[in-house]
Amino acid sequence: MRNLLWLVFAGTVLSLVPMTAAAATSGALTINGKVPISCAIVVTPSAGASNIADISAGNTNLLVATVTENCNDPSGYSVSLAGANSGSYTGLFKDSVSAATVAFNVTYAGAAVSAATVTNVAAPANTTKNVQITYAATPNLTGSVGYTYAETLTFTITAK
């Protein structure tokens, strides 16, 4: 009886002790990560963008800025344009004193802007493009003190 109790006790203790698994000859570990989508735009005004001596004289292809587009999205990106005064992809100089206006057209990377999306790129890129404006002579504009005719153009980059 004593031997039987001893065997039951020993069997119970052994069943509670974990068994070591058989060692494998190799093992694999997969390590992965990602690069987040990142798009940035830098607008650098040129000397021609401020203090235009005579808006009424008109101008053709006046270089006003360079825009650096940088986006790593494999699907590409788009850049859009909006004028604060015009409310669209065209520009509108507005005199803060007399409220007189002079409309202008924008050229982006050598192409006339004809929609809010000024460029639509199908792959990642890091590139710089020129922004030029053209406006007609308007000799009957009201004179202004200082540089009161202004427009703010906003360029926005968006990953696809």
- Number of neighbouring beta carbons within 10 Å of residue 71: 25
Q: Which residues contact 150 (CB under 8 A, 6 or more apart)?
A: 85, 93, 94, 96
Distance between CA atoms of residues 96 and 39, nearest Å: 34
Is residue 32 domain-resident? no
Is residue 15 domain-resident? no
pLDDT, residue 94, reads 94
pLDDT, residue 5, reads 44
Is residue 52 domain-resident? yes
Kindly give the confidence (pLDDT) of every residue in the chain, 160 residues in length, as a single tens digit, with 9 standing for 90 and above. 455 444 444 455 445 555 556 788 999 999 999 999 999 999 999 998 988 989 999 999 999 999 999 999 999 999 999 999 999 999 999 999 888 999 999 999 999 999 999 999 999 999 999 999 999 999 988 877 788 899 999 999 999 9
Kindly report the CATH number assigned to the domain that includes residue 148. 2.60.40.1090
Is residue 31 domain-resident? no
Is-above-0.85 flag for pTM? no
HSE (CB half, 13 Å, CA atoms) of 120? 6
Query: Which pair of structure tokens corresponds to residue 22?
Result: 């058989």
Q: Which residue range(s) make up the domain with 91?
A: 39-159
How far, rounded to the nearest angstrom, does the alpha carbon of residue 73 sit from its chain's CA centroid?
A: 10
pLDDT, residue 4, reads 44
Which residue's entry shows tokens 């100089």? 93
pLDDT, residue 7, reads 45
Q: Which residues contact 32 (CB under 8 A, 6 or more apart)?
A: none
Q: What angle do CA 121, 122, 125 make, to 5 degrees?
A: 60
Is residue 125 domain-resident? yes
Is residue 2 domain-resident? no
Is residue 18 domain-resident? no
Is residue 67 domain-resident? yes
pLDDT, residue 63, reads 97
Number of structural domains found in the chain: 1
